[in-house]
Chain A
Amino acid sequence: MNRNRTRALRLTTMAVVASGVIIGALRNVGIGSLSAFGVENISAICPLGYLETALASRDIMPYMLLSFLVIAGLTVLLGRVFCGWICPIPLVRKLLINEVDEGQKAFTNSAPNEGAAVPVLEDGETAKSSSSGLLILGVTLGSSAVCGFPVFCLICPIGLVLATLFALIRLLNFNEPTLDLIVFPVVIIVELIFFKKWCSKLCPVGALLSIFSRFNRSLVPTVDRSLCLEENCDTKCQQCRSACSFGVDLKNSSGTGDISSCTKCRECADNCPVHAIRFPWR
């Protein structure tokens, strides 16, 4: 599949999901947003939101635990498909800076600021970077438990993107001008532009999903080593590694751990010059 076609397809699914939420909000059908959506009393809940509220209210909420487990199960089955295909953030990034994914390039640029000359694709580095999300996940949950309300929800870019749109709807429908319409976009811009590696390094939702996707065995990209240029022609191709925003190294990992952050975006397969990388579909 052509690289631009996959990206267009991903942006389309994100736009379809986002517009579904907006149409639902406009027509007042009660489907909610990505924090919790559903019909009647059945809700699919944001797994991070569930953990935060469960800790903040000291209540397991059995119904929502079920919903949480379903989401966890889906992530085990499909991996972090949410991050690559549903979450509106890559779409927003595309609109803001015309880039869908974070890419490795952004990482090399920011590396000197850290005052360290760490090679971009050092094994230890990728392992650590995926756990920085886990740390933030821990801090997120801890802060909710201590403060007694879901703190991260206040600045979650996914929630804020939809909240901005909701605020816009309120402005147009009920003439309710608010500060929110300025502050929410500013927070989103700060998160996505000043923290270029939001999705791969900082986002606690992604970190939580990658805990479950550790057990994901389907939809995993595989390298056909008989075609790979690095194996056959002794070149330092590295195209697949540099294309991956999440620093997944397909050639070295044995298929677990590191691969848990794969969002099924197909960038590696589409960037491979000899089409040696395959996903189970196509």
Chain B
Amino acid sequence: MSQHKPEKVQSKVISLASPSRRTFLKITGGAFGLLMGLGGVGKILPREALLRPPGGQDDTSFISRCLRCDRCRSVCPTSVIGLAHLSDSILDARTPVMKFHLGYCNFCNKCVEVCPTQALKPFDIKTVKIGLATVKKETCIAWDSGGCMVCMTACPYHAITLDGQSRPVVDSHKCNGCGICEKVCPSLVMRSYAGGNIRGIVVTPISRRGEGSV
């Protein structure tokens, strides 16, 4: 191959070996740089804890296995599973997250069954905790004007009680983060806050409880 090469080209590449090998190195180097860079950036950039479907609470294991295949989101009978976006972080984009303003979790186990790589692991329904319901003082109707106890009556696990002033209090031992309280909370409808997912009670990831919580 090298005999056919024009003089000029040969002198240019002489220090770098043959042109096809140079392309070769370029491709490998480029791919290596790109993928390791992407992986490194993904790991280094700060990531906030997200509400995963049940069985996906171990983040290291979850992120190493999730293929972003859409099966859990699609199979969910209550449509509570949605998709994380690039704004959550590069690493989390397209992974499943719980959108409790759209639905709640009844722990039917379907998402775990369809997950091909066990990013969602089989869970014990008695101990699993998706997150913890947290009352938001500034948006909760009961905290503001009182009288509302929708979340308390909706909670199937009796994790919400009312305090002396009839304001909801969450029992962190009983709450498993099923999200039905967030789903039924009428705060947005009654108070017409801007945005479609503002609630007076929201489920927050266990590792990072929201500000202004009770």
Contacts and interface: CB of A to CB of B under 8 A. Distances in A.
B68 A115 contact: no
A139 B20 contact: no
A35 B95 CA distance: 13
Contacts of A210: none
Interface stretch (A81-89, A174-182, A243-251): A174-182
Interface residues of A, number: 69
Nearest to B71: A32
Contacts of B68: 35, 153, 159, 163
Interface residues of B, number: 59
A136 B64 contact: no
Interface string B97-119: 00100100000001001101110
A59 to B, nearest CB: 8
B13 interface: yes
B79 A28 contact: yes
A280 interface: no
B35 interface: yes
A146 B36 contact: yes
B74 A178 contact: no
B83 A149 contact: no
Contacts, number: 196
Interface string A105-120: 0000000001111110
Nearest to B102: A174
B196 interface: yes
A59 B34 CA distance: 25
B114 A139 contact: no
Given A40-B114, A132-B27, A147-B39, A46 B82 contact: no
6 contacts: A30-B75, A37-B69, A38-B116, A116-B19, A174-B99, A180-B85
Interface of B: 1, 4-6, 9, 12-13, 19-20, 22-24, 27-28, 31-32, 34-36, 38-40, 42-43, 60-61, 63-76, 79, 82-83, 85-87, 90-91, 93-94, 99, 102, 110, 113-114, 116-118, 196
Interface of A: 24-25, 28-33, 35-38, 40-41, 43, 45-46, 49-50, 53, 56-57, 59, 61, 63-64, 67, 114-119, 122, 124-125, 128, 132, 135-136, 139-140, 143-144, 146-155, 159, 162-163, 166-167, 170, 174-176, 178-180, 183, 201-202
